[in-house]
Amino acid sequence: MKRNLAIIILFLLSLQVSFAQSKQPLPIIDMHLHSIGINDNGPAPVNVGAPFKNFGSHDPGKPYAPNFIRILKTDSLFEYTITSPATDDDLMNESIFILNKRNIHAVTSGDIMRVRKWKLAEPKRIIPAVMFSFGDTLSQKLSVDSLRSLFQSKEFKVFGEIVLQYGGYSASDPAFEPFLKMAEELDVPVGIHIGLGPPGIGSLPPGSFKASLCSALNLEEALKRHPKLRVYVMHAGWPMLDDMLALLYVYPQVYVDVGIIDYILPRKEFYHYLQRLVEAGFGKRIMFGSDQMVWPKAIEIAIKNIEAATFLSQEQKRDIFFNNAARFLRLTEKEINDMKK
């Protein structure tokens, strides 16, 4: 009898373990993931702080670029270090592994052909997006007309990451006006980089990045001209919190993602920024983003940092991880249900 009881208990335990292993995690939408080359952030392998301990200092009498490369090759400023994989395929495969593990559907931008490669490798989880700078109008021939064709074909779903800030431009610059007009006409969601770049980027070539363009208020003129534009501010406009709050208050159509600030910033700073956004009343417009570039492990670190935020309720966490993005992207009930499977 005892033997039979033990067998029954073991059987029930095995069923419980099997159920736990097969249970799909709640879905997450990553509004900010990249499919870039493994050497696009410097010759691989390169490190990044997840988070940084501090952002260091620099003697202006010396060139900054060698110091920056040293930072990426060591862990001198990092509280915890993550290292990039060795090859492009490793980067793609490790990223996709985490997407499947955590049931993530990711808005993925980069070189057009590379995005297509990732989509082919994981059609269920990759949401193709177009990364854009004015330089891409030449290197990838991304004119207004070619972009219109990409979006009308439904192959690409999001226009972003828009990285004009790296070239010293804001999204309200007249040169970008035809692109915003096209996005508004086609009702294509737009994700615009407003906020931080690599530490010390103002001293890195070509030197076009301006701290003043970290203000979300630089988006205001574009919003005035395009009131029907679906737009989200990537990086939540860190560190210029008051400007971000002002824009969110005045323009209820604006959303934010918390890409990269959710893993490289010292955790207290990230929590301070996120908590202020939520307590100011904007918890329904904050979306998860990893800004994974060449560090797949950053995705889970970013997720865990939000999961560990004691000031957020479970409902608020689900809003950030999924509900807000589903609303912003106007996902259908079927699309939402499919993501839960």
8 A C-beta contact, residue 142 and residue 130: yes
Looking at residue 318, what is its pLDDT? Answer: 99
In the predicted model, what is the mean pLDDT of the chain? Answer: 92
Please report whether residue 59 resides in a domain. no
Residue with the two structure tokens 């918890």: 283
Looking at residue 42, what is its pLDDT? Answer: 86
Please report whether residue 55 resides in a domain. no
**Of the given ranges (131-145, 207-221, 268-282), which has the lowest mean pLDDT?**
131-145
Percent residues over pLDDT 70 in the chain: 93
Please report whether residue 17 resides in a domain. no
State the Cα–Cα distance between residues 128 and 235, nearest whole angstrom.
19
Give the CATH number of the domain where residue 324 resides. 3.20.20.140
In this structure, the number of other CB atoms found within 10 A of the CB of residue 249 comes to 12
Closest CA to 320 of 280, 292, 290, 294: 290
Please report whether residue 286 resides in a domain. yes
HSE toward the beta carbon, residue 4, CA cutoff 13 A: 1
pLDDT digits (tens, 9 = 90+) for 296-323: 999 999 999 999 999 999 999 999 999 9
Looking at residue 135, what is its pLDDT? Answer: 79
Looking at residue 7, what is its pLDDT? Answer: 47
pLDDT digits (tens, 9 = 90+) for 273-299: 999 999 999 999 999 999 999 999 999
Please report whether residue 214 resides in a domain. yes
Please report whether residue 161 resides in a domain. yes
Instruction: Count the domains in the chain.
Output: 1
Looking at residue 4, what is its pLDDT? Answer: 52
pLDDT at 207 over 50: yes
Looking at residue 72, what is its pLDDT? Answer: 82
Please report whether residue 13 resides in a domain. no
Looking at residue 139, what is its pLDDT? Answer: 67
Looking at residue 331, what is its pLDDT? Answer: 97
Phi, psi of 307 (to 5 degrees): -60, -35
Instruction: Provide the domain limits for residue 243.
Output: 24-38+85-340
pLDDT at 227 over 70: yes
pLDDT digits (tens, 9 = 90+) for 33-70: 999 999 998 889 999 999 999 998 999 999 999 888 88
Please report whether residue 117 resides in a domain. yes
pLDDT digits (tens, 9 = 90+) for 228-273: 999 999 999 999 999 999 999 999 999 999 999 999 999 999 999 9
CB-count exposure of residue 237 (10 Å: 0-12, 13-18, 19+): buried
Report residue 123's pLDDT band, with 50, 70 and 90 as the boundaries.
very high
DSSP letters along 245-266, please?
HHHHHH-TTEEEE-TTTTTTS-
pLDDT at 215 over 80: yes
